[in-house]
């Protein structure tokens, strides 16, 4: 599976390079610069319009509009930047607005989804993104174990949770604006590798017991009085993901831009869970792992509300339905004895044969944030910065306790079959993103 992963990553890099090269604009022929400019037929999809409008007004009015009182942040009363670069080519018309920013109500005709993507001049018509992520991984069925306080009346039970922490990661992306109807193509790679650990030190009455659902043997609990040190659990999550989106940004009103998209997604998700303890000076351990890959379609919607001088509030939602293959393995060493007085130790070492499960995995992504962007150098470049909160859910990722759930040991060491419910993975946290159009 590692060879397949490397091959797919190499193909993805080739696809990204192809996207970058395909997004380059066609330069105007040199012969056009030597001849007098001719009339150019403007189209609704052209990024530039020939005439600029200084003030929004009703085209049906016969009289020219009077000077209006300007208000801070009103896009209709602000002179737009020169949206076409200054060059020797005089045939490039000028826009009446800054594309990707708030516009006037009459800048564009009604009943047309005018393009709202960022549009730079005389460049490759491409963009790159880079993100720093600081996320926390959460999961089901990862508790360290259960403690039974036998000396209390009534007796009490307490679940020992596995601690979680925020960990860093990153995203990188490459996109290109396509010539057809102002669509864009965007690919992004996400890497998030995290590990967290919890140590529980048994203290209290020696007759208190500890047990975990990951035990495969029939032993019902370890006595506090026979522990040598603490009980340690370690959970690691490695996520590598590639998303591909074909999208079109368009105005919905004067200050709202929508970006629906469709595409595909592929990810590799590996989870490991290890615990170890020392009981009557004998080490016991359990090591479990689930390796999975998934591929399938992806679709969603992004939106931006432009409210003041390049600042915007935006939201993003995506849903993936993926074919997924899971492989679970494990090994361990436990105490097989139960109910002996005084307690004795009988070591049971075992290996879990590979268990493969093919499923459909759904991935849900939601984010909300605040951003700011601006054109530079006569609209040859554009820079954008955003801070956002992201939340993601990956269904049916934890099959590590599948064997233990199927073989459930009760106090009298009898075996009962139970329904297996794999756990889900949840990621959430802060993301800082920059984008550069050129």
Q: How far apart are CA 254 and CA 304, in angstroms?
A: 11
189-197 average pLDDT score: 96
What is the dihedral angle through the alpha carbons of 108, 109, 111, 112, rounded to the nearest 10 degrees? -50
pLDDT band with cut points at 50, 70 and 90 for residue 29: very low
What is the pLDDT, as a whole number, of residue 27?
A: 39
What is the pLDDT, as a whole number, of residue 37?
A: 41
In this predicted structure, the answer to whether residue 239 has a pLDDT above a threshold of 50 is yes
What is the pLDDT, as a whole number, of residue 51?
A: 39
Reported as type and span, the H/E element at residue 402 is: helix 402-406
User: Residue by residue, what is the 3-state secondary structure of 81-127?
Assistant: CCCCCCCCCCCCCCCCCCCCCCCCCCCCCCCCCCECCCCCCCCCCEE
Domains of the chain: 2-23+123-437 (2.40.128.100)
Strand partners, 210: 147, 222
What is the pLDDT, as a whole number, of residue 50?
A: 37
Token output for 97 = 């607005």
Q: What is the pLDDT of residues 56-83, one digit of tens each?
A: 334 444 444 444 444 455 555 545 554 4
Q: How far apart are CA 313 and CA 321, in angstroms?
A: 28
Question: Residues near 39 by Cβ (< 8 Å), separated by ≥ 6?
Answer: none
Which of 166, 163, 190 shows the shortest CA–CA distance to 268? 190
Query: Percentage of the chain surpassing pLDDT 90?
Result: 42
- C-alpha dist (Å) from residue 46 to 41, 56, 114: 10, 20, 9
| C-beta separation of 40 from 93 below 8 A | yes
Token output for 10 = 């190499």
pTM of the model: 0.75
Q: What is the pLDDT of residues 99-122, one digit of tens each?
A: 777 777 667 666 568 899 998 988
pLDDT band with cut points at 50, 70 and 90 for residue 228: confident
| β strands within 164-230, DSSP E | 166-177, 183-200, 209-211, 222-223
> Of 149-153, 281-285, 403-407, which has the strongest mean pLDDT?
281-285
Lowest mean pLDDT among 22-36, 79-93, 210-224, 413-427: 22-36
Handedness of CA 83, 86, 87, 93 (dihedral sign): positive
């Amino acid at each position: 599976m590692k060879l397949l992963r490397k091959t797919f990553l190499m193909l993805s890099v080739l696809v990204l390079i192809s996207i970058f090269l395909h997004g380059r604009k066609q330069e105007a022929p040199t012969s056009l610069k030597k001849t007098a400019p001719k009339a150019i037929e403007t189209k609704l999809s052209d990024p530039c319009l020939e005439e600029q409008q200084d003030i929004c007004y009703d085209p049906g009015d016969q009289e020219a509009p009077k000077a209006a009182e300007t208000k801070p942040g009103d896009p209709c009363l602000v002179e737009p930047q020169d949206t076409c670069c200054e060059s020797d080519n005089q045939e490039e018309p000028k826009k009446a607005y800054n594309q990707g920013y708030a516009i006037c109500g009459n800048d564009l005709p009604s009943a047309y989804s005018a393009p709202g993507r960022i549009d730079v001049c005389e460049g490759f018509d491409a963009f790159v993104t880079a993100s720093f992520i600081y996320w926390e991984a959460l999961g089901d069925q990862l508790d360290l174990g259960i403690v039974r306080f036998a000396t209390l009346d009534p007796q009490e039970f307490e679940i020992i949770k596995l601690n979680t922490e925020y960990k860093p990661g990153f995203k990188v992306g490459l996109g290109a604006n396509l010539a057809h109807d102002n669509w864009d193509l965007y690919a992004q790679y996400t890497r998030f590798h995290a590990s967290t650990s919890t140590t529980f030190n048994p203290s209290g009455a020696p007759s208190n017991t500890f047990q975990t659902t990951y035990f495969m043997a029939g032993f019902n609990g370890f006595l506090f009085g026979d522990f040598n040190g603490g009980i340690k659990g370690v959970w690691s999550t490695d996520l590598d993901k590639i998303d591909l989106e074909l999208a079109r940004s368009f105005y919905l009103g004067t200050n709202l831009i929508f970006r629906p998209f469709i595409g595909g997604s592929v990810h590799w998700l590996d989870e490991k869970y290890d615990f170890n303890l020392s009981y009557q000076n004998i080490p016991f351990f359990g090591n479990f792992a689930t390796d999975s890959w998934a591929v399938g379609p992806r679709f969603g919607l992004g939106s931006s509300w432009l409210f003041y001088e390049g600042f915007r509030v935006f939201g993003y939602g995506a849903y993936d339905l993926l074919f997924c293959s899971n492989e679970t393995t494990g090994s361990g060493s436990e105490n097989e004895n139960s109910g002996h007085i005084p307690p004795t130790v009988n070591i049971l070492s075992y290996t879990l044969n590979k268990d493969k499960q093919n499923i459909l995995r759904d991935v849900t992504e939601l984010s909300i944030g605040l951003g700011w962007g601006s054109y530079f150098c006569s609209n040859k470049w554009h820079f954008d910065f955003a801070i956002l909160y992201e939340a993601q859910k990956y269904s049916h990722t934890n099959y590590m306790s599948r064997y233990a759930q199927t073989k459930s040991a009760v106090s009298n060491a009898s075996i009962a079959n139970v329904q297996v419910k794999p756990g889900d993975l949840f990621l959430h946290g802060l993301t800082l993103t920059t984008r550069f159009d050129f």
